[in-house]
Amino acid sequence: MSEKNYITCRKCSLALIFMLFLQYVDAQDFNNLQTILKSNGKTLGKQYTVVVQKGGKNIFLAETDELKLKVPTPIGHASAWISAALVMTFVDQNKLSLDDPIAKYLPDFKKNMKGYITVKHCLTQTTGLDADASGMMKAASKNKFLTLEEEAAFYATKKLIVDNPGDAFSYSSVGLNILGRVLEVISKKSFDRLAAERIFRPLGMRTASFFNEDGNAPNPTSGASCSAFDYLNFMQMFTNKGMFMGKRVLSENAIQTLLTIHYPDQRIRYSPEGSNGIKYAMGSWVQEINEDGKGNIYSAWGPTGATAWMNVNRNYFAAIFSSELQNGQRMQLINQLRQLIDEQFE
């Protein structure tokens, strides 16, 4: 075949693939979804991406000139789900147990009644440590600690215990950032390197990173950057029970553990705006619960960054990345989008 004919054939193939893609998208009526995005232009700002994936196929895509689907952007508190999964890779290898006291790895936590705090408490936001809710937004945008070692030491020596571990939910960066240091102690590697080796590379998340360009400590709770497409790889791993592209990243037991509501009746000391009593698993919120007490919809979101959710019953997941979307506006818009998408898969 001549080079000219080859190029012509290749163009025809690409055109055919694109037409098939459009046919699949048109099978779902996403006109209302597009209308909502346009009508919320001021709320979303000039930098946003939206993607919906079902059955391994992207069925709705939206991006702006200022932010493309394959370009990394800070994802804020959607980072927590990734960090929780990273912790479970150590549990899978029996290098860590959910019932281990933090003091086993960080001796400073043996003092001041903090010796009862476990790995599980850190993953479920129930450490009992006093979380500075008023400063959380500031802490989310810039970590003031130079290292996770310094940060963990601060929580161990300066933060007070205000609840018995496991008794109350208090959303903050405290628990996961303590665990970030625990993983560094166990592995003798930096947190951002661990995330790259155990999560990002196995999942083909080439744009993802926890590296902090300001020179401060990586922030396991809200410090990752990632593209919308790459974050979908992470959620695809959940729907495939820990598998991605034929390779196991997490055990089925680890996935089940991450998606379990471990403290369904706990008292709420602090929960961010928009949560309205929504239950929390490990790194993700449980937006909808079925009659068996298991989650139907899981989401990753917080006061800043990206929002992503996974609908177990309808077998789809979606993400919206916007640098300008604020928390109060976020939940109202996300709920609208989720309702419209759900209607397409009833």
Between 197 and 341, whose confidence is greater? Answer: 197
Please, are residues 320 and 334 in contact by the beta-carbon 8 Å criterion? Answer: yes
CA triple 260-337-176, angle to 5 deg: 35
Please, are residues 327 and 102 in contact by the beta-carbon 8 Å criterion? Answer: no
- What pLDDT was estimated at residue 21? 36
> Does the pLDDT of residue 215 top 80, yes or no?
yes
CA distance 81 to 174: 15
- For 312, the token pair is 């177990």
The pLDDT tens digits for 245-274 are 999 999 999 999 999 999 998 899 998 877
- What pLDDT was estimated at residue 116? 96
pLDDT band at residue 16 under the 50/70/90 scheme: very low
| Mean of per-residue pLDDT scores for the chain | 85
Name 295's Cβ contacts closer than 8 Å, sequence gap at least 6.
Answer: 259, 261, 279, 281, 286, 287, 288, 289, 312
The pLDDT tens digits for 275-294 are 877 899 999 999 899 888 88
Percent of the chain residues topping a pLDDT of 70 = 85
- What pLDDT was estimated at residue 325? 63
- What pLDDT was estimated at residue 25? 40
- What pLDDT was estimated at residue 64? 84
CA distance 72 to 61: 16
- What pLDDT was estimated at residue 256? 96
- What pLDDT was estimated at residue 14? 37
Between 132 and 12, whose confidence is greater? Answer: 132
Pick the CATH number of 19-344 from 1.10.150.20, 3.40.50.720, 3.40.47.10, 3.40.710.10: 3.40.710.10
CA distance 187 to 180: 11
- What pLDDT was estimated at residue 258? 98
> Does the pLDDT of residue 101 top 80, yes or no?
yes
Please compute the mean of the pLDDT values over residues 213-231 and round it to a whole number.
93
Between 321 and 91, whose confidence is greater? Answer: 91
Residue 170 parent element (H or E): strand 168-170
| Least confidently predicted of 132-146, 203-217, 302-316 | 132-146
> Does the pLDDT of residue 195 top 90, yes or no?
yes
- Ranges of each domain in the chain: 19-344
Between 295 and 29, whose confidence is greater? Answer: 295
- What pLDDT was estimated at residue 4? 47
- What pLDDT was estimated at residue 18? 34
CA distance 208 to 280: 24
> Does the pLDDT of residue 177 top 50, yes or no?
yes
Please, are residues 270 and 251 in contact by the beta-carbon 8 Å criterion? Answer: no
pLDDT band at residue 167 under the 50/70/90 scheme: very high
CA triple 118-122-128, angle to 5 deg: 80
Please, are residues 78 and 302 in contact by the beta-carbon 8 Å criterion? Answer: yes
- What pLDDT was estimated at residue 105? 98
- What pLDDT was estimated at residue 273? 78
pLDDT band at residue 329 under the 50/70/90 scheme: low
- What pLDDT was estimated at residue 143? 52
Between 3 and 33, whose confidence is greater? Answer: 33
Question: What long-range pairs does 88-91 form, CB within 8 A, spacing at least 24?
Answer: 88/250, 88/254, 88/257, 88/258, 89/198, 89/199, 89/249, 89/250, 89/254, 90/183, 90/186, 90/187, 91/254, 91/257
Cα–Cα nearest to 300, from 81, 142, 134, 137 = 81
Alpha helices in the chain (DSSP H): 3-26, 31-39, 41-44, 79-92, 119-123, 136-141, 148-157, 174-187, 191-195, 228-239, 252-258, 327-344
- What pLDDT was estimated at residue 166? 95
The pLDDT tens digits for 23-44 are 334 445 677 788 888 777 777 7
pLDDT band at residue 15 under the 50/70/90 scheme: very low
CA distance 331 to 157: 36
Please compute the mean of the pLDDT values over residues 57-78 and round it to a whole number.
89
